[in-house]
């Protein structure tokens, strides 16, 4: 099943888009309009810092939202839109494990940050989050990642997400919707195996489109490659799911004026790979030397 969300800055689309991602735009416009300079963030790219879990909300049998407090009520995390951070914990054997996560909160959410986590039965970091209780601390380091979203950098921004890959896309979508001076058109297709697997579900009465990911859906809901269009892909799966992948191992997506984005080999994006290959937008992985 796939849930598609299409956003335009035209007024008739804006109301639906805001409802779809369940965000309170009015409360956050203030920050974009009045805050000319942000306070210094709390993250350190070189050292792990600990943040206290102040609220845990169970969203389903294996998904929970974890809210961590920042040092002061006016502190911000300081994570650029589109980047992630490394979280450190212990697996069921007591061994240290580090895994990247993207908050669903923005720097307009002062005093705290949120992580929406799907806890897999055999996941090493999943075990750590499953055992966390309010009052516990999480070690975090960042920001990490090459990609950073900039308002109005392109005319259209296409996003395709699978599973927990929705979290960075949700962050970008929120940033676009809540910034009154950002006129980027955002397009999102989000796919899951079952309805129960959908994270950050749309509200009741959602009419933005559902169904299997097909060539028709991609063409309808995503912008085609052009100098003013960016397409990003985010797939986060278990090793078991990856074993069924049909894409070549480690391919990079290149679009004009875009940072290369790694495509993980999963069945969901076999169709997208074929579409992009026909448009000469996808190439084998560059060497480490090419990336420097």
47 is in an annotated binding site: no
101 is in an annotated binding site: yes
- For domain 49-144, the CATH architecture is Beta Barrel (2.40)
Q: How many residues does the chain have?
A: 292
- CATH 2.40.30.10: which residues of the chain? 49-144
Distance CA(266)–CA(249), nearest Å, equals 10
Q: How many CA atoms lie within 13 A of 5 on its CB side?
A: 29
72 is in an annotated binding site: no
126 is in an annotated binding site: yes
Cis peptide before 143, with omega less than 30 degrees from 0? yes
DSSP, res 130: H
Identify the bridge partners of residue 98 per DSSP, sorted by sequence position.
88
Identify the bridge partners of residue 69 per DSSP, sorted by sequence position.
52, 112
pLDDT at position 117 is: 94
112 is in an annotated binding site: no
pLDDT at position 135 is: 98
pLDDT at position 128 is: 98
Helix, strand and coil content of the chain, in percent to the nearest 5, comes to 25, 30, 45
pLDDT at position 28 is: 38
pLDDT at position 282 is: 40
In the chain the first and final C-alpha atoms are separated, in Å, by 38
Number of H helices, E strands in the chain: 8, 14
pLDDT at position 169 is: 85
Q: What are phi and psi of 56, to 5 degrees?
A: -125, 120
Decide: 160 and 215 in contact? Cβ < 8 Å: no
For 152-210, what is each residue's pLDDT tens digit? 888 888 787 777 778 888 888 999 999 999 998 888 888 877 777 887 777 787 777 77
167 is in an annotated binding site: yes
149 is in an annotated binding site: no
pLDDT at position 181 is: 95
Q: What are phi and psi of 212, to 5 degrees?
A: -75, 150
Distances, alpha carbon 30 to alpha carbons 27, 74, 153, 273, in Å? 6, 14, 22, 41
pTM, whole model, 2 decimals? 0.69
Tens of pLDDT along the chain (292 residues) come to 444 444 444 333 222 222 233 233 333 333 444 445 667 899 999 999 999 999 999 988 889 999 999 999 999 999 999 889 999 999 999 999 999 999 999 999 999 999 999 999 999 999 999 999 999 999 999 998 877 888 988 888 878 777 777 888 888 899 999 999 999 888 888 887 777 788 777 778 777 777 777 777 877 777 776 666 555 555 554 443 333 233 334 444 433 333 334 444 444 455 555 555 444 444 333 333 333 3
């Amino acid at each position: 099943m796939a849930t598609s969300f299409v956003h335009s800055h035209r007024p008739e689309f804006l109301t639906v888009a805001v409802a779809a991602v369940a965000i309170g735009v009015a409360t956050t416009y203030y920050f974009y309009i009045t805050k000319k300079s942000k306070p210094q963030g709390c993250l350190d790219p070189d050292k792990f810092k600990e943040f206290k879990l102040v609220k845990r909300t169970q969203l389903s049998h294996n998904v929970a939202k974890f809210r961590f407090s920042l040092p002061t009520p006016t502190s911000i995390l300081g994570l650029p839109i589109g980047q992630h951070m490394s979280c450190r914990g212990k697996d069921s054997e007591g061994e240290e494990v580090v895994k990247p996560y993207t908050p669903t909160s923005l720097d307009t959410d002062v005093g705290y940050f949120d992580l929406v986590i799907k806890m897999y039965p055999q996941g090493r970091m999943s075990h750590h989050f499953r055992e966390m209780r309010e009052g516990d601390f999480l070690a975090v380091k960042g920001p990490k990642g090459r990609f950073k979203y900039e308002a109005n950098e392109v005319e259209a921004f296409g996003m395709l997400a699978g599973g927990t890959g929705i979290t960075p896309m949700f962050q970008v979508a929120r940033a676009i919707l809540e910034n009154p001076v950002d006129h980027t058109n955002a397009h999102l297709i989000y796919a899951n195996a079952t309805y129960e697997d959908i994270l950050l579900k749309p509200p009741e009465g959602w009419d933005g489109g559902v169904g299997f990911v097909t060539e028709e859906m991609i063409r309808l809901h995503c912008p085609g490659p052009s100098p003013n269009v960016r397409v990003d892909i985010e797939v986060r799966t278990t090793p078991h799911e990856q074993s069924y992948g049909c894409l070549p191992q480690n391919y990079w997506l290149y679009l004009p004026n875009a940072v290369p984005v790694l495509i993980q080999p999963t069945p969901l994006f076999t169709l997208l790979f074929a579409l992009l290959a026909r448009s000469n937008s996808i190439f084998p992985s560059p060497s480490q030397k090419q990336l420097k």
